[in-house]
Structure 1
Amino acid sequence: MELIKDQISAHFRLSEFACDGQMIITPEFVSFARVLERFRGWYNRPINVNSGYRTVAKNKAVGGVSSSLHLRAMAVDFNLPKEYMEADPARQKVFCHNVVTKWEDECCTAGGFSQICWYDTYVHLGLSWERSYFEDKRRSKSWTM
């Protein structure tokens, strides 16, 4: 069996995190990738990374903040699953609560802090060594945390 050099864990490839063919690999990224892999095992559905590492130019182009964890390859954005999008507000709230709680647990286990931004169609998960936060950036807030 041929080894796939790009495969960094059971569910992720390094190229998924790259930005315009560029990537940084640091000990912090390795920690983040391990946390994300454990989370993915629990999540039990695909996580297709929309945004992982970002160059400074890309971060600026998409309106990212200058302190973005994407600049250090410590965050991912991915679309929310179809079952979330089609669920009623009460089930969406439970889904969000479960995701937030699990991500917080995984980051804490790794010795870090969870950073989460919840959008209408996607979620941002980050691992920080400095602080934890949760932001609800949905345009239509049919439920609150």
Structure 2
Amino acid sequence: MIEFRKKKNDESILDIAPLVDMVFLLLIFFLLTNTYQKHQIDVSLPVTETGKETKVEKKTYLIEIKPDGTIILNGKEATLQELKKLPKTAEVDIAGDRKVSYETFMKVLDKLKEAGISNVNLLTIKK
């Protein structure tokens, strides 16, 4: 029978290089896939001279109105009736294309008023 000698110092050495590599790969993956875009639909906003930049600090709803009159609520197509279901305390940002008819724009504002929403922001591009 063969006898094997045991090491007197039986410490395990943990190689953390692969762990660090995986952490960096995950970090790069999440940074590349989690890009923040305010407007996901191609809407051409009107230009104003007196507009000011605002910082979003609370939950807001984004309504985008495309040139053909399609209404997009937080990235999903919606109807005018669905706008009435928003909570009264909601803050709503409206990004209407510059080619949207005045009638369509007023219908959206009217439905928000029916829902009791008074905090409405109109998004523009500052000149």
Instruction: Tell me which interval the TM-score lies in, with the shorter structure as reference length.
Output: under 0.3
Q: TM-score, normalised by structure 1?
A: 0.25
